[in-house]
Structure formats: structure tokens, C-alpha cells
Structure 1
Amino acid sequence: MDEMTRLRELRADAPVPDRAALAPGRKRLTDAIEGRGRRTFRLRADWRIASLGAVVAITAAALFVTQVVDTSDPRQSGPATVAGDLDLSSPAAALGQAADFLERQEVPPEPRKDQWIYLREENPDQEKQWKEVPAEIREEMSMSYSPDSWIPYDDKAAENDESDTDYRTARESYRIAAGLPEDPEALLAELRKVFPTGDGSNGPREAKAEHSFRALTVLLESYPLPPDALARIYRAMATVEGVGVTDHLIRDATGRQVIAVTRAYDENSRREILLDPVDYSYAGQRDVVTRTHEISGDDGIPSTVHKRGDILMDIARTRAAVVDAKGQKP
């Protein structure tokens, strides 16, 4: 049995992501397999539509695992925040409260160009599935999994790489955020230019609201962002058509209680952007099945049923800091 067949049989029940979003990741993956630019890289937070997501398109072997949504009482009161009791009655209320708090915070100095961004993003299910991939396949793909990553704040080579239109360096993201306009409509229009959609050749083009939400999500994954800029981003996010907020805190992959800002990802699932209820920082994201559906198998692989409430992707950012050297932890 060849290696790709073995990988294909790991899991063939994952939903196929948007092909336009997969294109850059697919190129990087095929380059790695063919020996061009062998390197080890950390899986991006939105792994369903990025680097490892390309494996889905190429081999139909996404490394998803299903778990059940938090079943705690949704009417329980959440913790008090620094800004006061949480108001989760609507996106405008929740994100407006977050923006009010952030606007009162002091803006720290921009990181120096020689500094690094340390992130710890935990996904226990993904880690478990990744370990089940045969070692020889991981070696062939020159890929590895680690919850810890260090990103250079100033990365000229990455800034000049135009192969991934969604990727911006930490410095680029900081300055993009700092320069965003106050008006929500103008802010969203600017971000749609910064993170363009596909031309339609690799799948349907995104609708305006879908495009806006994706662009916001991509920027929110960056660290650091000035608190006043983050406030403008949250106010704009509240205006995007289809955006909601759960009326209770949910539990992330590590068990923390977090705010979930939601929007439909496709007809069968929704994307949830997770925010810390104390300082309103980005805390991760997850995808939740909203409609029970069956994923058809092929080549003898049985079909799989995803039930309403199953979690397809669950990533928790537990640490983020500016450090002076790669490998340093705060």
C-alpha cells in the first residue's frame, strides 16, 4: 500500500474547504512533498482552510476529530469582566462592551523589529490525530505539530512572498490594524482589499458579508494588535450580516469559559471566534456542526454522519507575548 493511500484512509469524512482559500496552502504542501523548500512548519489556526487543509483537497484525509459541544447550563451567569458584567444579548452589545473596555487601555509601544511573537495554541484533538499519522509520512512531508510557535515580528522575506494573499507578517498586521478607519463600513471595505477573495476560477466567490467576516478573522489571529484598533475591529464585526453571539459562555479546547462570536461557515456548520471574557483578547476559534448531515465515502471508505452539535475544529490560544528571542517563553 502506498503512503498516500494510507494517509487517505485515516479520515475521509471531513468537509471539503473552499478551493480558493486552499490554493496557497496546496502549493506549499506539494512543494514540500516534491522536495522544494523542505521545512517544518506550524499548522495555522484555521487549519481547515490552510496548510494542512490542503491535504483534504489532495488526499481527502483531513485530520478532524468530533467531540460534543459543552452541555453545561446555557443560562448560567458568566464571570464579571474588568469592564463589568458581560452583556451577551446581541453582537452589538457584546462587541460594543469589548470595544468600550479596549478604548480605555493604554496603547503599548510597537514591538521592535528584532523581537519575536510567541504563541501557544492548543488543539488536543488535532494533536492526537497528528500523532496517529505514520512517522514515515510525517517525515516525507517534512511537517510537525507543536502548540508553541515563534514568529519574527519583522520578516522581510515573508512580506515579499505574494503566494498567500491571506498571510501578513506580524508587523504588517499591526500596522494594517493601526491604520484602519473608525467607520465600520469603511473599515470592512479596507480589509476586503487587504485580504482579497478569489477570482471565481477555483470555486464560488465569497459574498460581501462572508468576505468581511473572513478578513476580520484573519486579522484577529495576528498578535499584537493595538487595543484601540481592536476596538474598531470589534465594532465593525458587530455590523457584519449574519454575525451572532451565544447568550452564554462556552468552553474552549482547554476548558476555559469564553465568549463565542458566530457566523455560518457553510450550510452545515458555523465558525465561532472565541474571545477572552476578561480582557477581550482573541482566544481561538472552532467550527460547530449546525445541521446533521452525511459525508459520502468513496473507494470503499464508509460514509460518516456529522451530528448537530459536533465540533469539527477547536483551537484555544492560551498564551501570546512579545519576546526577545526565538524559543523564549514569557
Structure 2
Amino acid sequence: MDEMTQLDRLRSEVPRPDRTELRAEERRLLSEIAALGAAPSPRRARRPADLRRNLRLSLGTSVLVGAGAATVVALGFVDIGSTPRPEPAVRVAPVAMSAVLQRAADTASARDDLRPRPGQFLAYELQVMSPVKLKEGGKDVRYLDRSLFKVWLPVEGSSLDGGVMSSEHLEPRPFPGEPLPAEARRRQGSAVAPSRLTGHDIRPEYQRTDYAYLSRLPTDSEGMREHLYRGLSRDPLADYKAWGSVGSMITQAYMPSAQRAALFRAAGTIPGVETVDEAEDAAGRDGVAVAMANRLGGVRHEYIFDRVTYLYLGERVVVTDAAKAGAPAGTLLTSTAQLKVEVADSAPEVTVPDVNAPEVTVPDVNAPR
């Protein structure tokens, strides 16, 4: 690890105040300054030492924020199916822990945990939007497929060993700047009956995301951070891949609150984390997002949280560099909304024989781009 990387990660565990906290500090500081010029009264009189101490605390917070963090960047945004509109400011916090992830961690333990047992399934309901490329009239055409997935994954073992999924195609959207292909309209309303998840899980053991494995991970942020960076010591995209692993562990995956809190705190210390003040998941739910840019791929990968409860809502991938990503800057490439997670004693009966079952998998929006 070089000196600049060490400096970048120095004191990364210190939470960074958000705008509301900063405004409160500003008001308090101005109040203290005003008190200096006001005539003392029996009810307001303060000892000089107390006043100096309070001023030092207020100024210290302001200096910490000024030195630790915020560069405000305005980005253009192409809203799918509408005219461009300004995207909310992205606040970059390269050193201090993201306040959004800190609050998500703090509130994780306040929620009731699901407690699945071996042999049971975790049942997920997700809405997903992702680009599809196909041939039409001898030409390559693209559109944005929108689907509703219901997935049943075993509590222990590979998701491809006993996992079941059904899906339904929702109304598609055109790829920005391109007409909607006729094939996309024909798929609308079609459904896939419950089918076995197929394919080969080639991930190493430490990248498993079943509940039994995730529940054995560290419950402290340092241990969880080591887990996120496992196998990435020589990878130039280590930070971005660690960020992708965070998504793999919270989307279509479930872990106890202790591990979930540790994950959010560890994720908040990854260099390059950004806060996006306004974000919308695939179901149209508004929230605040934490994100990381992949400058090689020209995209930004966001995780969206409810701005009141800090409950995880979903994720999206947005283009930041048109030349690298092959789409206009601001284009929403993929989007996911995790609508429901519950425990089920069994998965639905597979109605299509395995030998004829189509190979169906939920698009992996966490794969590096």
C-alpha cells in the first residue's frame, strides 16, 4: 500500500456530519459569536473558559468537515422516458465515513431480524430494470427490460442448488436516444413459471451469500472490511470490487443485524464513497444513495436507502462518462428495488421439467462495469 492510499484511508472511521448537522453547528457557532458582543446578564452570563471551550468545539467540527471532505459536483441526468433534468449534487467523502451508512448501521439493530432455520428458504420479491440487446431487422437494437422477480433461495448452500425463480415482464422502456423495438412490446405481460435456477456457481467459497455463511461473518467493521477486500490485494480495482461485494451481500441476500451493521460501517470506509442526495429505485421509491464511481467503466454504482428509516431499498448504475460506457452521461443503466424479504418453509413446485427449463437468472447489477 503506497503513502497516498494510507493517507486516503487515515481516520476513515470518523463519521462525517451531514448538511443538517453542519447547519446546526453553524447556528451554534454564530450564536456563540453573538454572545461575545452582548452585554452579560445574570441568566446568560458564562465563564470565559466555558465560552472558549464551546467555540473550540464548534470550530473543530467545521475544520474537520472542511479538511475531510466535501467537493460538490453537479452532474447531468437523463431521466428514462423524459427530458433531461438536473441531477442532485453528489457529495464526495474520501476520508470520513459516509453519514448515510453510519445511520444505516446504527438503525440495523433496532429492526426485528428474520431467523430462518436450515432447510428453509428466504423468499425475495424484486423489481429489476436492465438493458437488453437483440437483433431486429438485421440490426442490433437495445431497450430497457423491466421485470418483477420472485426468488426462493435456500438458507444454506449455493443459490443454484435448490433455488427457484419466477418472473413477469413489465412495461419496457426505450434505451435513451433509441426507439422501443417491437419485440420489447411483445414481451410485455409474459411470465416465466417457477423454474430451477440453473448455471454454475464459480465463485470462491468466501464470496458465498447464503444466510448460513453470512451469519458467520465478523460483527466488527475492521473484520468485515478485511472480508470485503479478501483476494483483492493486487487488484487495481480493489475498492470498486469491494463496493460491488457490498451489494452482493444486501441484494437478494440477508444477514443478521450484527453483520449488517458491520457491513455498512465497513462500506463507509471504502475510499471514494459518495453521497447522492436524491435517488430513485426501480419501483419509484425515493431515497438517498451512497455510491462509488468506476472511472474505467464510466459508471457510478449506487445503493439506495430510505431517507427516514435508512432501510435498504435497492440499487442502480448510472453513466458518468459517455465515451467509456457507450451511453449518454446520466443514463440509468440498471436499477433494482428489493420489495420484500421473508422466510418460507419451502419453494414453489417447479412446473417445468428441469430438462426443458430455460436458464433464468436475475441480472447481476453488482458485477464490475
Q: Given the two structures, how large is their TM-score scaled by the length of structure 1? A: 0.55
In structure 2, what is the equivalent of residue 315 of structure 1? 336
Aligned length: 215
**Could you say which structure has the greater relative contact order, defined with CA pairs below 8 angstroms and 6 or more residues apart?**
1
Alignment-derived partner of residue 149 in structure 1: 151
1:218/1:67 CA distance change after superposition, 3 Å: farther
Counterpart position of 1:97: 103
- Computing the radius of gyration from Cα coordinates, the structure with the larger value is 2
- Which amino acid in the other structure matches residue 328 of structure 2? K
Contact 1:288–1:313 at 8 Å: present in 2 too?
Answer: yes
- Does structure 1 residue 119 correspond to structure 2 residue 124? yes
The residue that corresponds to 1:254 in the other structure is 283
Q: Percent identity among equivalent residues?
A: 21
Deviation at 1:256, TM superposition (A): 0.7
Equivalent residue of 2:229, what SS?
A: helix
Residue 240 of structure 2 corresponds to: 210
Contact persistence 2:124–2:252 (CA under 8 A): no
Asked whether the 8 Å contact 2:275–2:290 carries over to 1, the reply is yes
Alpha-carbon RMSD = 3.6
Q: How do residues 48-87 of structure 1 correspond to structure 2 at under 5 angstroms?
A: 71=85, 74=88
1:212, CA displacement in angstroms? 2.5
Equivalent residues of 2:116, 2:122 under 8 A apart: no
Find out whether 1:191 has 2:228 as its counterpart. yes
Structure 1 residue 72, shift from structure 2 partner: 7.6
Structure 2 gaps, min length 5? 1-79, 90-95, 137-146, 162-199, 350-369
> Does the aligned pair in 2 maintain the 1:271–1:287 contact within 8 Å?
yes
Following superposition, the deviation at residue 169 of structure 1 comes to 4.6
CA shift, 1:172, in A, is 3.5
Q: Does 1:175 align with 2:204?
A: no
Measure, in 2, the Cα distance between the counterparts of 1:67 and 1:180.
43
Q: Deviation string for 1:146-176 (max 9, x for gaps)?
A: 61111111337968x8722375252344324
**Change over 3 Å in CA distance of 1:101–1:147 after alignment to 2:** same
Post-superposition shift, 1:73? 7.9
Kindly state the Cα deviation for residue 315 of structure 1 after the two structures are TM-superposed. Answer: 1.7
Task: Give, in whole Å, the separation in 1 of the partners of 2:320 and 2:243.
Answer: 18
Structure 1 residues 69, 98: CA separation in 2 closer, same or farther (over 3 Å shift)? farther
Answer whether contact 2:315 2:337 (CA < 8 A) is retained.
yes
For the residues of structure 2 that align with 1:225 and 1:69, how far apart are their CA atoms?
40
Q: Note the residue ranges of structure 1 that are not aligned, 5 or more in a row.
A: 1-65, 76-89, 135-144, 200-204, 296-304
What letter matches 1:105 in structure 2? R
